[in-house]
Amino acid sequence: MWLRSIVTFVFVSFFGPASADADTILVWGDSLSAGYGLRPGEAWPNLLQTRLAEKGFPHRVVNASVSGETSAGGRTRLPAALAEHTPRVLVLELGANDGLRGLRPQLMDDNLTAMIAAAQAAGSKVLLVGMRMPPNYGPAYTRRFQATYTDVATRTGVPLVPFLFEGFADQADKFQSDGIHPRADAQIIMLDTIWPHLTPLLD
């Protein structure tokens, strides 16, 4: 069973050889992007910076994800982060903790929509990363939760990664002992899921 992470910390990192004036990719997520339970350098945003360099992209990755973050918390913090980092691209990976708390999907919809609008107003492109709830939350809630990401992406016109855990969600050996957070060997799968949706935004 998935449980909500009770650890709250900020993991902000500047990786790799990108120059100080390179365009910034701001990863705005929860523990699934913050690298909870992993060693430094193992989380998928770290792997993203390495891949960008290998592929000749000059972008700098800033991972400002917070374990335990909800869409409401992310919405509150985002304006200051946009002003500080002026990202070219915002990777928005929030909502899982809303679902695990059983919050109304409409609230998540409102918060995601507001964050996308704020990022676009600041000149950022946005990639929305979707999640799903486990079946024990009931079919009606899980369907509505999943549909929220599609609805927001369609309405705002931003690209969507439908499911961050695509390809391994049913593989227990890809998760840490809490059954929530992916292990280090799953991080590359997550990056491979995000990569084709992200690269069109890197002009």
Which residues are part of the catalytic machinery?
31, 178, 181
Structure tokens of 103?
């919050």
Q: Which among 92, 84, 160 has a CA at the least distance from the CA of 120?
A: 92
Q: Which helix (H) or strand (E) holds 125?
A: strand 125-129
Amino acid in position 107: L
Structure tokens of 134?
């486990």
CA distance 133 to 141: 8
SS3 66: strand
Give residue 92's Cα distance to chain centre. 5
For the chain, the straight-line distance linking the first and the last C-alpha, in angstroms and rounded, comes to 40
Order across the sheet with 89-93: list the strands.
60-63, 24-29, 89-93, 125-129, 160-161
Structure tokens of 138?
């009931």
